[in-house]
Amino acid sequence: MRTTLNLDDQLLIYAKHQAVEERISLAHVIENALRESLAKPKAKRETIKMITATGPGVKPGVDLDNGHSLLDIMDDPS
């Protein structure tokens, strides 16, 4: 099957060199790499336990969804 791929220039150069070294086509190098990548078992994601604190909550006027205002609040010397 024909398809078009957009590859990083350095990756393509490396793949072409590999094809020459192994005396196989560039398509075979890409197919082999894809097969190898898909054959690897997926890594299990580790559960992360977050440590939280209790208290009255966020101070009035603090918007946790606004990163710029949070930086301003943290940089405020008062």
User: What local confidence, expressed as pLDDT, does residue 76 receive?
Assistant: 78
Q: Are 33 and 25 in contact (CB under 8 A)?
A: no
Q: Which of 24-28, 64-68, 73-77 is predicted least confidently?
A: 73-77
Q: pLDDT (tens digit, 9 = 90+) per residue, 8-57?
A: 999 999 999 999 999 999 999 999 999 999 998 888 888 988 888 788 88
Q: Are 70 and 59 in contact (CB under 8 A)?
A: no
Is 80 exceeded by the pLDDT of residue 1?
yes
Is 90 exceeded by the pLDDT of residue 72?
no
Q: Are 54 and 64 in contact (CB under 8 A)?
A: no
User: What local confidence, expressed as pLDDT, does residue 60 receive?
Assistant: 80
**In 19-47, which positions are buried (b, 16+ CB within 10 angstroms) versus exposed (e)?**
beeeeeeeeebbeeeeeeeeeeeeeeeee
